[in-house]
């Protein structure tokens, strides 16, 4: 089989092999059942913890492996080949953990990162609210200083791993009049006074992941749970999302690859008009486009993840590209996979209908693809303005 | 607690092919994997270590490439491993194998527990575990389906699965156990384990290294002689019975009687 050489190091190849083994042995056998029952994949989270994968991006002094964005992409790509609901649960822990890793004080890092790295405690990231999706600055949850405590009030919506995670990084308004500069980030723990969970959502896809409301009703947390500086909340959120977006691209690549594999295998077996349908140019051209777009997605994600790890200062545009292109490709590829499998593809006996249902979320979460285009477009405007004399 | 787990490399059952003329396996180009039951033995050894502390050492007899099996065991959390490897060991039956393994284990020092898979899927003898226990002069319980530490860590309560039920046995350390797949779910390897295993020095011990008597190892030390091997054929025959349901049942009973089934 001819494959692109991405020049992985021995350790990176190890990550790929291990994530692939877990996907094959643990994820694929249960994905259809978990999709049906919407059961939270605790057993698989334990396997991923045992495999040290939760510590990929966390420095070694906090019990992690000291890898970067690229290593994380390699792992989630393999897991997403099996099931993106399970992968999202895994990836959400990194999304919640990044702010602590990036902006935590030494005490906060020592307190939380080792448990996150070992997978002992899952993390969730809480930004979105009912009235604040793409317009994240419209959040209404507030945090008010009261003596030695912060008191949080408000409701976060659609929080991945809500209720299951034990650590939450929450963005809340501390100085409303300052607008976007009036938000701050906090660490809230499951069990904190006044912190509870709302309804669990029923979803089109991504069903094995838990999506829930977080309810703060005079939630009192100690002063030292403020993450970063007061007023830095949106910077923390944006930086976190910039770092996480190539991971969403990698999830899209893994999902697309699985859909392509199912399509080619089926097209070689399915006989119509006396021959396997892969012998028809109509099918061949679809498969060719799928394979080419997937490889282009993978190359883009890898190149941008490596650029970020090499110490790029400003990479919002690049990480938006690394999310935008592969996730649009995943929607197209999974839709075409269902088309190639025809009536069988529409049935739950085959895995591609789930892949298509799951794919849609990739164009929506962690910033809709319209927002990604805004980010890229605005960056272009700025970059070209600087060129003018 | 010193724990030893015995593992074996076997041909990957998923890719194995047969030489129908000679009646043997074609081993060329077939990948070697750890015997499936041995993964359960590794997990049992690691869970004993998790509960009681100590060290787990994996031992295997085989060609130098059996180091791959040791590295895989180490990636799951086994602390160290050794390959007993010498051309003189070739052609060993279970008598010679148990002798060789026992000499290697004695070289490791006193052991508290030895874990083996129920049997290897290539030879299917299930003799090496019990034979090894005799050589080491320690008690042996085979076909363990459940295991629990009791007596403040001094003993085990195990469930030995039999054809028509099970026995509950309490046994003090040291002990040799052979385990079933139903005992546990083997843990996945870890990245840190893989990295440690890659760099680990895995010694190859020769017959001299373990002080083996040359008359007791390999083909020379093996009284078992294989005269021939064959590949069993599965020939299904089909016959349609005619007549009313009663007549068909009568005819079927006759057929069963003829075939000696009833």
Average pLDDT, chain B: 94
The shortest C-alpha distance from A47 to chain B (Å) reads 6
Mean pLDDT of A4-10: 96
A366 has catalytic annotation: yes
A133, part of any domain: yes
A2, part of any domain: no
The CATH number that applies at residue A93 is: 1.10.540.10
How far apart, in whole angstroms, are the C-alpha atoms of residue B134 and residue B99?
Answer: 10
Same domain assignment for residues A116 and A131: no
Element (H, E) at A149: strand A149-160
Residue B191: which of A15, A26, A47 has the nearest Cβ? A15
Alpha-helical regions (H) of B3-120 = 36-52, 67-76, 94-108
A204, part of any domain: yes
Rounded to a whole number, what is the largest CA-CA distance in chain B? 75
> In this model, does residue A333 exceed pLDDT 80?
yes
Contact B188 A25 (CB under 8 A): yes
Q: Which residue of A has its CA nearest to B193?
A: A51
Q: Which of A82, A105, A122 is the last residue of a domain?
A: A122
How far apart, in whole angstroms, are the C-alpha atoms of residue B213 and residue B171?
Answer: 32
For residue B174, say if its preceding peptide bond is cis, omega within 30 degrees of 0.
yes
Same domain assignment for residues A96 and A213: no
Same domain assignment for residues A297 and A252: yes
Same domain assignment for residues A102 and A189: no
Element (H, E) at A159: strand A149-160
At B253, phi and psi to the nearest 5?
-60, -40
B152 touches B115 (CB < 8 A): no
A100 touches A112 (CB < 8 A): yes
Same domain assignment for residues A245 and A373: yes
Confidence at residue B13, expressed as pLDDT on a 0 to 100 scale: 83
A1, part of any domain: no
At B12, phi and psi to the nearest 5?
-65, 115
Same domain assignment for residues A229 and A325: no
pLDDT band for position A151 (cuts 50, 70, 90):
very high
Contact A11 B195 (CB under 8 A): yes
Domain with A29 in it = 10-122
Same domain assignment for residues A189 and A312: no
Buried b (16+ CB within 10 A) or exposed e, B150-186: eeeeeebebbbbeeeeeeeeebebbbbbbbbeebbeb
Same domain assignment for residues A242 and A364: yes
Q: At what angle do helices A233-269 and A69-82 cross, to 10 degrees?
A: 40
Spell out which residues of chain B touch residue A25, defining contact as CB-CB under 8 Å: 188
- Residue ranges of E strands in chain A: 123-126, 142-146, 149-160, 167-173, 183-189, 195-200, 211-222, 226-227, 271-272, 275-276
Q: What would the pLDDT profile of A319-329 be if each residue is shown by its tens digit?
A: 999 999 999 99
CA distances A187 to A112, A155, B139, B212, B260, Å, are 10, 15, 55, 63, 75
On whether any CB of chain B is under 8 Å from the CB of A60, the answer is no
Q: What would the pLDDT profile of A249-307 be if each residue is shown by its tens digit?
A: 999 999 999 999 999 999 999 999 999 999 999 999 999 999 999 999 999 999 999 99
A5, part of any domain: no
Q: What would the pLDDT profile of B71-103 be if each residue is shown by its tens digit?
A: 999 999 999 999 999 999 999 999 999 999 999
On whether any CB of chain A is under 8 Å from the CB of B188, the answer is yes
Q: Which of A94, A122, A150 is the last residue of a domain?
A: A122
Spell out which residues of chain B touch residue A11, defining contact as CB-CB under 8 Å: 195
How far apart, in whole angstroms, are the C-alpha atoms of residue A229 and residue A237?
Answer: 13
Confidence at residue B27, expressed as pLDDT on a 0 to 100 scale: 76
How far apart, in whole angstroms, are the C-alpha atoms of residue B174 and residue B152?
Answer: 15
Same domain assignment for residues A182 and A137: yes
Contact A14 B191 (CB under 8 A): yes
Confidence at residue B25, expressed as pLDDT on a 0 to 100 scale: 79
Beta bridge pairs of residue A271: A276
The CATH number that applies at residue A213 is: 2.40.110.10
At B58, phi and psi to the nearest 5?
-95, 135
On whether any CB of chain B is under 8 Å from the CB of A50, the answer is yes
Mean pLDDT of A22-30: 97
Percent of chain A topping pLDDT 90:
97
Same domain assignment for residues A242 and A366: yes
Same domain assignment for residues A254 and A374: yes
On whether any CB of chain A is under 8 Å from the CB of B190, the answer is yes
Residue B191: which of A25, A47, A65 has the nearest Cβ? A65
On whether any CB of chain B is under 8 Å from the CB of A25, the answer is yes
Instruction: Give the CA angle between residues A368, A369, A373 to the nearest 5°.
Output: 120
> In this model, does residue B110 exceed pLDDT 90?
yes
Block residue for tokens 């064959």: B230
Q: Return the domain boundaries, chain B.
A: 2-216
Average pLDDT, chain A: 96
Confidence at residue A323, expressed as pLDDT on a 0 to 100 scale: 98
CATH class for the region spanning B2-216:
alpha beta
Q: How many CB atoms lie within 10 A of CB A287?
A: 18
pLDDT band for position B24 (cuts 50, 70, 90):
confident
Mean pLDDT of B229-233: 83
The CATH number that applies at residue A342 is: 1.20.140.10
How far apart, in whole angstroms, are the C-alpha atoms of residue A296 and residue A326?
Answer: 8
Contact A53 B191 (CB under 8 A): yes
On whether any CB of chain A is under 8 Å from the CB of B185, the answer is no
How far apart, in whole angstroms, are the C-alpha atoms of residue A185 and residue A125?
Answer: 10
Same domain assignment for residues A279 and A351: yes
From the list A129, A164, A353, A366, the catalytic residue is: A366
Q: Which of A183, A198, A233 is the last residue of a domain?
A: A233
Spell out which residues of chain B touch residue A10, defining contact as CB-CB under 8 Å: 198
Total count of domains within chain A = 3
């Amino acid at each position: 089989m001819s494959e692109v050489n991405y020049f992985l190091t021995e350790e990176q190849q190890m990550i790929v092999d291990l994530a692939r083994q877990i996907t094959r042995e643990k994820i694929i056998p249960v994905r259809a059942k978990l999709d049906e029952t919407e059961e939270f994949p605790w057993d698989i989270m334990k396997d991923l913890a045992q495999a040290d994968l939760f510590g990929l991006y966390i420095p070694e002094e906090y019990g992690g492996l000291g890898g970067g964005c690229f290593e994380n992409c390699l792992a989630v790509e393999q897991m997403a080949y099996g099931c993106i609901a399970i992968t999202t649960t895994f990836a959400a822990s990194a999304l919640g953990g990044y702010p602590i890793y990036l902006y935590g004080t030494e005490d906060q890092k020592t307190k939380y990162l080792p448990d996150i790295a070992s997978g002992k405690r899952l993390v969730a990231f809480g930004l979105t609210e009912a009235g604040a999706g793409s317009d994240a600055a419209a959040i209404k949850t507030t945090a008010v200083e009261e003596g030695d405590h912060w008191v949080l009030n408000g409701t976060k919506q659609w929080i991945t791993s809500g209720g299951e995670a034990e650590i939450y990084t929450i963005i809340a308004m501390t100085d409303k009049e300052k607008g976007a500069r009036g938000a701050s980030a906090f660490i809230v723990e499951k069990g904190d006074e006044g912190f509870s969970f709302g309804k669990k959502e029923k979803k089109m896809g991504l069903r094995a992941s838990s999506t829930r409301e977080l309810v703060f009703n005079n939630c009192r947390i100690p002063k030292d749970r403020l993450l970063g500086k007061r007023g830095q909340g949106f910077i923390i959120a944006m930086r976190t999302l910039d770092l996480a977006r190539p991971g969403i691209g990698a999830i899209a690549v893994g999902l697309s690859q699985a859909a392509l594999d199912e399509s080619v295998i089926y097209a070689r077996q399915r006989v119509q008009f006396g021959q396997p349908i892969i012998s028809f140019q109509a099918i061949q051209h679809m498969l060719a486009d799928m394979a080419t777009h997937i490889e282009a997605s993978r190359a883009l994600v890898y190149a941008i993840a490596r650029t970020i790890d090499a110490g790029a200062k400003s990479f919002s545009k690049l990480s938006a590209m690394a999310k935008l292109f592969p996730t649009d490709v995943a929607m197209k590829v999974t839709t075409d996979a269902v088309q190639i499998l025809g009536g069988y593809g529409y049935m739950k006996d085959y895995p591609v209908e789930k892949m298509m249902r799951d794919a849609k979320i990739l164009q929506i979460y962690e910033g809709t693809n319209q927002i990604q285009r805004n980010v890229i477009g605005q960056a272009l405007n700025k970059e070209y303005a600087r060129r003018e004399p | 607690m010193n724990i030893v787990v015995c593992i074996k490399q076997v041909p990957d059952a998923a890719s194995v092919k047969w030489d129908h003329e000679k009646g043997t396996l074609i081993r060329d180009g077939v990948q070697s994997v750890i015997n499936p039951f041995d993964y359960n033995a590794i997990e049992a050894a690691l869970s004993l270590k998790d509960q009681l502390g100590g060290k787990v050492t994996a031992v295997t007899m085989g060609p130098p490439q059996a180091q791959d099996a040791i590295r895989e065991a180490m990636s799951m959390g086994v602390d160290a491993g050794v390959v007993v490897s010498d051309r003189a060991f070739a052609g060993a039956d279970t008598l010679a194998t148990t002798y060789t393994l026992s000499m290697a284990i004695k070289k490791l020092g006193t052991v508290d527990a030895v874990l083996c898979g129920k049997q290897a899927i290539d030879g299917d003898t299930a003799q090496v575990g019990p034979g090894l226990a005799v050589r080491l002069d320690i008690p042996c319980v085979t076909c363990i389906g459940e295991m629990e530490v009791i007596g403040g860590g001094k003993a085990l309560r195990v469930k030995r699965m039999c054809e028509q039920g099970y026995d509950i046995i309490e046994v003090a350390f040291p002990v040799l156990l052979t385990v079933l797949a139903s005992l546990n779910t083997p843990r996945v390897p870890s990245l840190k384990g893989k990295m440690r295993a890659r760099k680990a020095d895995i010694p190859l011990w020769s017959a001299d290294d373990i002080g083996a008597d040359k008359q007791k190892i390999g083909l020379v030390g093996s009284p078992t002689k294989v005269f021939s091997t064959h590949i069993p054929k599965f020939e299904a025959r089909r016959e349609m019975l005619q007549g009313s349901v009663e007549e068909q049942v009568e005819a079927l009973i006759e057929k069963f009687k003829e075939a000696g089934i009833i």
